Amino acid sequence: MRYFVKVVVAVLAYFVGLGAYVGVLRAVWHEKITGGEAEAVIFWGGLAYLLVAIPLYLLAFWMIKLPRPFVFGFRRLFLLFIFPATAVLVIILPTGFALCAGFFGVSLLALPNAMFECVFAYPEAIPFYAFFGASGLCFSLGWFFLSRA
């Protein structure tokens, strides 16, 4: 049952991210998401979320469970404030993956070099920042409440 709830948190975080993407697209550019763009965002955003974001989040949660010297005795502070901030900041990697591999068609071999250029050079990254930032925040807060239960 506990694993099912964790999966629900991850799926909910993904959909919160999609909502944030659409909201930023509407708020910043006053545009609606079109059919082709929606398919690309759902596919490439989902793939980046599954292959990059979730493993990074799980790695951070695994690190929380390390002995106390890792968090210097401030486990609850780490869970409540530092981890959500970290989960929001990891948006650089999945955003670069989704933009470069998905929208700009960079080959997988050239992907590591191109990811940071895609993230920092293109305004198309802004909705993806919202996508993965909101997902990270939702994911981390959901896991925080699960860890307390």
* Tens-digit pLDDT profile for residues 86-143: 777 777 777 777 777 766 666 655 666 666 666 677 787 888 888 988 998 898 888 7
Total domain count, the chain: 1
- 79: containing domain: 2-148
Instruction: Report, in this order, helix, strand and coil percent for the chain, each rounded to 5.
Output: 85, 0, 15
Do 84 and 57 touch, CB atoms closer than 8 A? no
Q: Which pTM was predicted?
A: 0.77
Coil, helix or strand at residue 49 = helix
